[in-house]
Structure 1
């Protein structure tokens, strides 16, 4: 399995254009914020102290969620390519069998998604540190790394489920375009969730990555929210709901509730992706 994982990683990094396109969706969100959204959003929240830092951290959380989706999907291109070229038939004849082959695809996609999120985080934090003096402490970074890993694991499983019936790279290219375009809206990164119509808000709340973005934003914004809204709990809840820092159903969900939702989806997604391979291995 380690040899297969290494193979997938090498093939991914050799395709430099594929590496660039895998982070393009996240980079578009970053550039759109800098060029079009930042000024207008700062005007909306200009009454808050240090609004620039609040919004910068908000963007980072959403962009990392987009990156987890697009980079793992790009990494799983190799699975579809092997399926189309019937390479999987040869690889399944090894001692690993179908299950380990599938796990090797998952492992490489997770590592790629995790690594690319770290890279993007470093770029965005460096830029905002120079531009707005944004800083983060080590406990925040540690929690965020854990969420990056969770996001890579979750996106890998969900993307693998989507690709189960995809047998041609041409079909995957079209699907990747749709997902890359929609991801920014579905995690509430191009537009805050509070500015969307009711049906669009419902779609966002049904998207697993929006919970990941919300958790990341909670980690990134926690010190600033505490100082900004120290004596204004109602105003804080309004900001969190409007900006997707916490998702609202009948009430605002707590951190523990959102984490439980993500873990439940993670288990269901991996069972859905791996059970067919277990059956194939058993046969």
Structure 2
């Protein structure tokens, strides 16, 4: 299984298109912020003491969340390529347990996404401190941010692995990923402030599993930006931006949602792979 994980890591980072593709969602987010939404959002938050910092941290939290999801698309595609080239079949008829083979694919996807996400976190923190003139995250905040990102990556990897279990051709999967990548930005409330969306859309976003992870990341990354504002005003803005969402005021509930969703998606994916193999 370790060899499969190492193979997945090596093949992904050798594929420049896959690496660049992992950041497409983040590029869209930054483009929307810089060219369309940034200035108007800052003006709307003029009641805050640091509106620029609030929007910067909100945007960067979205970038971290989107990258944690979109980077799994590029890495999980290796499973589809192996299916198309019959490499996957060779693995399946080997003495290695099928469960270990699938976990090898899953763990390589998880580690790739985690490495990419950690890099984006470090760049985001440098941006906040040196460009936005924000405060450096405390050791506790940074630890919580890593934990929230890890759980988000875990859920994203399980979700994408679940989707990939239905595909056997890379061109079909690539078409799907070109749609689902940007769609994730909307489903998690990263491209548009959640408060400006219709109630039905907000409900969909609220109960989408990956939203829980991004809510945690937003809450941690924007905490210092709201430090000097009144709690009442801060809470109103946080609801508008999707930093706090109904039941997700508490940290424990989003964590439970992420863990349970990860187990469910991974369990269904493993069952689906086994089912397909039995019917062949």
TM over 0.5, yes or no?
A: yes
Supply the distance in 2 between the matched residues of 1:84 and 1:278 (Cα, whole angstroms): 17
Cα drift, residue 262 of structure 1: 1.8
- Contact 1:13–1:19, Cα closer than 8 Å, also in 2: yes
Cα drift, residue 223 of structure 1: 3.2
Cα drift, residue 35 of structure 1: 2.8
The answer for the alignment partner of 2:209 in structure 1 is: 208
Cα drift, residue 235 of structure 1: 2.6
**Residue 238 of structure 2 is aligned with which of 220, 240, 246?**
240
Q: Is 1:20 aligned to 2:23, yes or no?
A: no
Q: Quick one: structure 1 residues 252 and 113, their matched pair in 2 at CA, closer, same or farther if it must change by over 3 Å?
A: closer
The answer for the alignment partner of 2:160 in structure 1 is: 159
Cα drift, residue 278 of structure 1: 6.5
**Residue 259 of structure 1 is aligned with which of 244, 247, 255?**
255
- Contact 2:72–2:157, Cα closer than 8 Å, also in 1: yes
Aligned pairs (5 A) from 1:61-210: 61-134=61-134, 135-210=136-211
The answer for the alignment partner of 1:275 in structure 2 is: 271
Supply the distance in 2 between the matched residues of 1:112 and 1:43 (Cα, whole angstroms): 38
- Contact 2:152–2:214, Cα closer than 8 Å, also in 1: no
Q: Quick one: structure 1 residues 17 and 279, their matched pair in 2 at CA, closer, same or farther if it must change by over 3 Å?
A: closer
Supply the distance in 2 between the matched residues of 1:281 and 1:133 (Cα, whole angstroms): 55
Cα drift, residue 101 of structure 1: 1.0
Supply the distance in 1 between the matched residues of 2:274 and 2:248 (Cα, whole angstroms): 39
CA RMSD of aligned residues (A): 2.1
Q: Is 1:58 aligned to 2:55, yes or no?
A: no
Structure 1: gaps (5+ residues):
none
- Contact 1:157–1:270, Cα closer than 8 Å, also in 2: yes
Q: Is 1:33 aligned to 2:33, yes or no?
A: yes
The more displaced of 173-182 and 51-60 is: 51-60
The more displaced of 118-127 and 38-47 is: 118-127
Count of aligned pairs between the two proteins: 278
Q: Quick one: structure 1 residues 165 and 275, their matched pair in 2 at CA, closer, same or farther if it must change by over 3 Å?
A: closer
Supply the distance in 1 between the matched residues of 2:170 and 2:257 (Cα, whole angstroms): 32
Q: Secondary structure of 1:227's partner?
A: coil
**TM-score normalized with structure 2 length:** 0.92
Supply the distance in 2 between the matched residues of 1:136 and 1:113 (Cα, whole angstroms): 22
Cα drift, residue 173 of structure 1: 0.9
Cα drift, residue 34 of structure 1: 2.5
Supply the distance in 1 between the matched residues of 2:55 and 2:29 (Cα, whole angstroms): 13
Deviations 1:224-247 (A, max 9, x none): 334322xx3x33332221111111
Q: Quick one: structure 1 residues 252 and 118, their matched pair in 2 at CA, closer, same or farther if it must change by over 3 Å?
A: closer
- Contact 1:208–1:262, Cα closer than 8 Å, also in 2: yes
Q: Secondary structure of 1:167's partner?
A: coil
- Contact 2:68–2:153, Cα closer than 8 Å, also in 1: yes
Supply the distance in 1 between the matched residues of 2:210 and 2:203 (Cα, whole angstroms): 13
